[in-house]
Amino acid sequence: MKQIGQLISFEGIDGAGKSTHIAFTQEVLAQRGIDVITTREPGGTPLGESLRELLLQEKMHLETEALLMFAARREHIAQVIEPALNQGLWVITDRFTDASFAYQGGGRHLDLKKLETLERWVHPQLQPKLTFLFDLPIAVARSRLDATRNLDKFEQEQAQFFEDTRNEYLRRAEQFSQRFRVIDSSREIALIQTEIRHHLDLLLRSLDHHD
Ligand code: ADP
Ligand code: TYD
């Protein structure tokens, strides 16, 4: 069967468990015979990774931050995401445009209309087929962050920033309920994995029916 490539995004505040479950998702899809690449934002290309360095370390105007996020995303889509999908590969991305709405819109209060304009410019058609939103109380996420490493610019923000970010993620999950799957990430890993596997199998079944 010729697979049609699908884009799956992983979202959530820092420490929510995205990395942990991306590795698991990759394994499940590989077991189902699906070729998958994993990538991340900001980043995913050499230019994008340079922009990531700036974005995670340098203080800047909130609109500069949003524009650089979308600049990195434009490159990522052109160099990585679209070519992979066109070859029939599945793409798992650690964050996509929902993160801009949540962090720059929710966390930093940038006008959502400006973000919508950038989204229409950078990817008027493309949307993830599935978006896993890992949701948990801010204090729990924070307690999971590795205490031994230096926190980046975002991770150093106050609790209110993450409350606003989390709320904007949850608002979008309601608005785009067809593609969002909200995962209660305060539970133990094994339970979360069972739920993810279930959602992936439902997606695969629905795609089979459309062949
Ligand atoms: P993110 O990529 O969203 O920042 P990670 O996947 O790196 O988050 O998880 C942050 C930390 O929390 C890691 O040490 C990970 O092992 C741990 N972790 C992830 N999910 C859970 C869970 N459900 N219960 C307990 N610890 C978890
Ligand atoms: P992430 O890769 O999750 O960081 P880490 O490797 O430490 O887990 O994401 C980097 C940071 O960038 C994260 O704090 C969220 C932020 N971010 C935005 O603010 N807007 C965006 O559009 C994206 C993609 C990320």
Probe target for ligand 1 pocket from 132, 144, 194, with the most ligand atoms within 8 Å of CB: 144
Q: What is the DSSP string of 108-144?
A: T---HHHHHHHHHHH-SS---SEEEEEE--HHHHHHH
Please state the atom number of ligand 2 nearest to the C-alpha of residue 19.
Answer: 8
* Residue 103: pLDDT band with limits 50, 70, 90: very high
Please tell me the distance from the alpha carbon of residue 40 to that of residue 8, in angstroms, as a whole number: 11
* Residue 3: pLDDT band with limits 50, 70, 90: low
Amino acid at 133: L
Place of tokens 């999971």: 144
Please tell me the distance from the alpha carbon of residue 121 to that of residue 21, in angstroms, as a whole number: 30
With a Cβ cut-off of 6 Å, ligand 1 is lined by: 12, 14-20, 144, 185, 188-189, 192
30, 187 in Cβ contact below 8 A? Answer: no
pLDDT tens for 146-199 read: 777 889 999 999 999 999 999 999 999 999 999 999 999 999 999 999 999 999
Return the higher-pLDDT residue of 202 and 145: 202
